[in-house]
């Protein structure tokens, strides 16, 4: 036990989640709570744990939530979902203003950077985030090459600090609801959230980032949340103590996940499709992985199937140059195989996308110097501006963006200067 374990346990009751490790709903809530930095206790019925409030027959997962400063008041949610838990915890807030200067969709590094700059410069700013601040970077255990943090910083900490910073300047951050639709309205835009809440803004920054590319292999969908996870699974690290973990991917996210899980797991296998890590992973991570005795890197390898009853048990692995399918024993599989742009609602509003569904901006909209189709202004689109005036994009979701945290924060900051120019154009600034 470290000195921190001795001194840092919460003095008051925390959220308790009771369920089965093989439940995808349970995993979604654990992931949500972890990424939103909500302290919780996880009681795994499969491991023989229980809770006084649990009775057989109750719908799982069961979530017990203390009520503010009255610990004796416990809200019990049967069949809990991320949405009901978020509401019970008071994380679902309504927008305070009838209109904003800037609505930012996505609270990853780009969205949070934009929120800090916009709010600090006096713009009425709201950020809408479907899960938790931080985006994909928020699940990273340790970013060691982010400027100004010589000892590294976790994505979660970076997001937490940025969130506090943005809120200090007056930005509102609305969590736990995705944006379903955005539509032009009176020179600005109306964003509609999944629960029907609408947000009017004079400009929009779309920074919804990317989601993990799906692994097309038999068994993956059935065991999702039951040993198979997309991303680095920060909520699962402690649960992997002594386990055999497999990670798929050749990028920095996969490398960082390797380093995290190697601290807890008995053995970590990294499956990489390519011939080397050098093409896709930072050298410092390659060096760290090489030094860690319990990490095995398998190049030219792919997972072709996953199997298990209630939980993942085995992974079928094919290696290029061999006809044999090898069966790996595994307790957990983390899939970090690149991203696909979250442009579903952008599609509906008529934004132009590249061939891989990333948002086109600036000169990429009309490479020949022409204006994009339907563009009515005399000026050309600003850099980071989409084919809709006043609708900007930044970060990983933007076509041509560099998939690095620092690049995303840079784009977020830059976008605010362009938003100012747009607001001046339509008046009122």
Partner 1 sequence: METVAPITELPPNPEFAVLASDERIDATAAALRSHGLEALVVGTGAEARAAVLDRLPEGAEVFNNTSITLESIGIAGDVERSGRFRPVRLQLFQMDREMQKREMRQIAAAPDWVVGSAHAVTEDGSVLLASASGSQLGPIASGAGRVILVVGGQKVVPDLASGLRRLYEYSYRLEDARARLAYGVPSGVNNILVVNRVLAPGRLTVVLVRQVLGF
Q: Which residues bind partner 1 (CB under 8 A)?
A: 1-12, 34, 37, 39, 66, 68-71, 90, 141-142, 151, 153-154, 156-157, 160, 164, 168, 237, 259-260, 263-264
| Least spacing, CB of residue 88 vs partner 1, in Å | 13
CA distance 291 to 243: 20
The residue to which tokens 């509906």 are assigned? 348
| Least spacing, CB of residue 133 vs partner 1, in Å | 14
| Least spacing, CB of residue 416 vs partner 1, in Å | 24
Nearer to partner 1, 59 or 168 (CB): 168
Nearer to partner 1, 7 or 293 (CB): 7
Beta carbons within 8 Å of 412's beta carbon, 6+ residues apart: 109, 110, 111, 112, 113, 114, 115, 117, 205, 207, 394, 395
| Least spacing, CB of residue 406 vs partner 1, in Å | 18
Nearer to partner 1, 14 or 314 (CB): 14
CA distance 189 to 349: 10
Nearer to partner 1, 263 or 371 (CB): 263
Cis peptide leading into 61, omega within 30 of 0?
A: yes
Q: At 5, which helix (H) or strand (E)?
A: helix 3-7
| Least spacing, CB of residue 146 vs partner 1, in Å | 13
Q: What is the DSSP string of 253-300?
A: HHHHHHHHHHTTSSEEEEE-SSS-STTTS-HHHHHHHHH-TTEEEETT
Beta carbons within 8 Å of 292's beta carbon, 6+ residues apart: 258, 259, 262, 268
Nearer to partner 1, 201 or 235 (CB): 235
| Least spacing, CB of residue 152 vs partner 1, in Å | 8
Nearer to partner 1, 155 or 250 (CB): 155
Nearer to partner 1, 4 or 368 (CB): 4
Q: What is the DSSP string of 44-91?
A: EGGGT---TT--TTPPSSEEEEEETTEEEEEEEETT--HHHHHHHTT-
| Least spacing, CB of residue 138 vs partner 1, in Å | 13
């Amino acid at each position: 036990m470290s000195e921190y374990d001795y001194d840092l346990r919460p003095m008051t009751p925390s959220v308790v989640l009771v369920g089965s490790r093989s439940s995808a709903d349970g995993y979604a809530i654990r992931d949500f709570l972890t990424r939103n930095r909500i302290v919780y206790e996880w009681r795994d019925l499969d491991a023989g744990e229980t809770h006084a409030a649990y009775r057989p027959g109750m719908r799982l997962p069961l979530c017990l939530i203390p009520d503010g400063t009255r610990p004796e008041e416990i809200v019990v949610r049967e069949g809990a979902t991320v949405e009901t838990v978020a509401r019970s915890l008071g994380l679902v807030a309504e927008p305070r203003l009838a209109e904003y200067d800037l609505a930012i969709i996505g609270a990853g590094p780009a969205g949070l950077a934009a929120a800090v700059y916009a709010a600090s410069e006096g713009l009425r700013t709201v950020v809408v985030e479907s899960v938790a601040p931080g985006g994909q970077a928020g699940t990273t255990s340790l970013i060691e090459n982010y400027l100004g943090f010589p000892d590294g910083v976790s994505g979660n900490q970076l997001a937490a600090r940025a969130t506090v910073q943005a809120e200090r300047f007056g930005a509102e951050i609305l969590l736990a609801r995705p944006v379903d639709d955005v539509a032009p309205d009176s020179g600005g835009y109306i964003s509609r959230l999944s629960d029907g809440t609408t947000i009017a803004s004079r400009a929009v920054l779309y920074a919804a980032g990317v989601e993990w590319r799906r692994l097309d292999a038999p068994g993956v969908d059935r065991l999702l949340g039951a040993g198979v996870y997309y991303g680095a699974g920060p909520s699962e690290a402690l649960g992997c103590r002594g386990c055999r973990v497999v990670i798929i991917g050749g990028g920095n996210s996969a490398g960082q996940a390797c380093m995290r899980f190697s601290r807890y797991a008995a053995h970590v296998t990294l499956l990489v499709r390519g011939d080397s890590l050098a093409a896709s992973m930072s050298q410092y991570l390659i060096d760290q992985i090489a030094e860690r005795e319990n990490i095995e890197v398998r190049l030219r390898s792919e997972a072709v199937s996953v199997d298990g009853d209630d939980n993942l048990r085995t992974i079928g692995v094919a290696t290029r140059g061999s006809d044999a399918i090898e069966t790996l024993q595994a307790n957990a599989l983390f899939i970090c195989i690149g991203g696909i742009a979250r442009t579903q609602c952008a599609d509906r509003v008529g934004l132009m996308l590249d061939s891989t569904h990333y948002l086109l901006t600036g000169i990429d909209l009309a490479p020949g110097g022409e204006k994009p189709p339907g563009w009515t202004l005399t000026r050309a689109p600003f850099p980071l501006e989409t084919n809709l005036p006043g609708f900007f994009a930044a970060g990983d979701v933007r076509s041509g963006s560099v998939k690095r945290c620092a690049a995303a924060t840079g784009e977020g900051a830059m976008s605010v200067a362009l938003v100012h120019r747009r607001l001046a154009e339509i008046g009122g600034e």
